[in-house]
Amino acid sequence: MRKLRYLTSLTGGILAAAMLVASGSALAAEKMKVGFVYVGPIGDHGWSYEHNQGRLAVENAFSDKVKTTYVEKVAEGADAARVIDKLASTGHKLIFTTSFGYMNPTLRVAKKRKNVMFEHATGFKRSNNVSTYSARFYEGRYVVGKIVGKMTKSNIIGYVGSFPIPEVIRGINATFLAARSVNPKVKIKVVWVSSWFDPGKEADAAKTLIDQGADIIMQHTDSPAPVQVAEKRGKWAVGQASDMHAFGPKAQLTAIIDNWSPYYVARTKAVLDGTWKSMDTWGGFKSGMVTLAKYNKAIPADVVALAKQTHQGIINGTIHPFAGPVKDQSGKVRVKAGEKPDDGMLAGMNFYVEGIDGSIPK
């Protein structure tokens, strides 16, 4: 009997000690936890890399209040739901899911975890605790389009595409409209590699485009391989998602850079302040979500001036890349003269504008 009592008191003591430790860690864990889910490796030097830069900005801004966690290379689909739920169930208050394919998994987990706030990148479905956000990369493409239209000698712009989704089509159209506005002879050649990330294939596509006469290589894929090919062949290139200057110091005209930091910091602050609400954000030049890398010194001053003027015009709202009249390949008017398209039309864009050769793969 005595032995038993001794045992119970011992157990009690251990339990009490355990609780003390637990409460101690609870005190230390006053820091709010913020989770990030990435589709690629943070070392891709492109899409996931930039999201991770945003995470680091959050850590910097609230180093005493916030602790961040990230999970990289999470496949889109069922596996994603498991990872998101794991973050939600381990005390994360705010979770950023940073790829289009996480849309349904995010919503499913959010329905179950009502006390957790979610932020889904590039999607269009929201709920009380799920916000969506994306960037108007096409604004960057439009400025780039003015530059490449002026810079090309062969009048052929090579474009390495990933998948024919509206996001990518919009970029091709914005580039072409801008290039045509300064150079009526310019043509755009698109080659699809059916992958977001395959350095070898992206390089092959860039070589192919150069062999077919392109003297400027643009890309909507995530590796710096196309920029590197352009550098080697003495052609121009435009970096994607990150500044790819290191891979093409002579070739890179500029790069369209995703800058998620201001948004991530603002949204984390909103949760800390208790003012977070579900909303949709589509930021561009104006909010700093899209920026351009330093212009190449080889670009003539008048072209730089034109680019800067276009950039400023988009910020002021005096220039819209898809201001009417915009016609599709069949000549049908998609945006009337004097009008601007609404975001719904932009988000679902599935046609090439008039003047582009070839058709969108179905």
Partner 1 sequence: MIPEWLVPTILTIITAATPLVFAAVGEAVAEKSGVLNLGVEGMMVIGAFAAFAVGVSSGSAILAILAGAAAGLLMALIFGVLTLYLMSNQVATGLALTIFGLGLSALLGYGFVGKTFGGLPKLDIPGISEIPVIGPIFFGQDFLVYLSVAAVIGVNWFLFKTRSGMLVRAVGENHEAAHSIGYSVTLIRLGAVLFGGAMAGLGGAYLSIVYTPLWVENMTAGRGWIALALVVFASWRPWRAFFGAYLFGGITIIQLHAQGLGIDIASQFLSMLPYLATIVVLVLISRDTTKVQLSAPACLGKNFHASG
Binding site for partner 1 (CB under 8 A): 41, 43-45, 158, 164, 189-195, 197-205, 207-212, 223-225, 228, 232, 246-247, 357-359, 361-362
Contact status, residue 219 vs residue 240, Cβ threshold 8 Å = yes
Q: Please tell me the distance from the alpha carbon of residue 161 to that of residue 358, in angstroms, as a whole number.
A: 13
Pairwise CA distance, residues 103 & 165, whole Å: 15
Q: Which is nearer to partner 1, 240 or 310 (CB)?
A: 240
- Where helices occur in the chain by DSSP H, the ranges are 2-28, 47-61, 78-89, 103-112, 137-151, 166-182, 199-211, 225-233, 261-273, 301-316, 343-347
Taking the least distance from each CB to partner 1, the nearer of 103 and 210 is 210
Query: Least separation, in Å, of the C-beta of 64 and partner 1?
Result: 27
The C-alpha atoms of residue 115 and residue 276 are separated, in whole angstroms, by: 12
Nearer to partner 1, 46 or 145 (CB): 46
CB of 233 to partner 1, least distance (A): 9
Q: Could you tell me the smallest distance in angstroms from the CB atom of residue 15 to partner 1?
A: 39
Q: Give Cα 294 to chain centroid, integer Å.
A: 19
Nearer to partner 1, 129 or 252 (CB): 252
Nearer to partner 1, 93 or 232 (CB): 232
Smallest distance, partner 1 to C-beta of residue 107, A = 28
Run of H or E including 217: strand 216-219
> How far is residue 322's CA from residue 343's CA, in Å, rounded to a whole number?
11
Which of 319, 303, 355 lies closest to 148, judged by CA?
303
Among 317, 267, 298, 292, residue whose Cα is nearest residue 97:
267
C-beta closer to partner 1: residue 172 or 346: 172
Nearest approach in angstroms of CB 85 to partner 1 is: 23
**Cβ of residue 40: shortest distance to partner 1, in angstroms?**
8
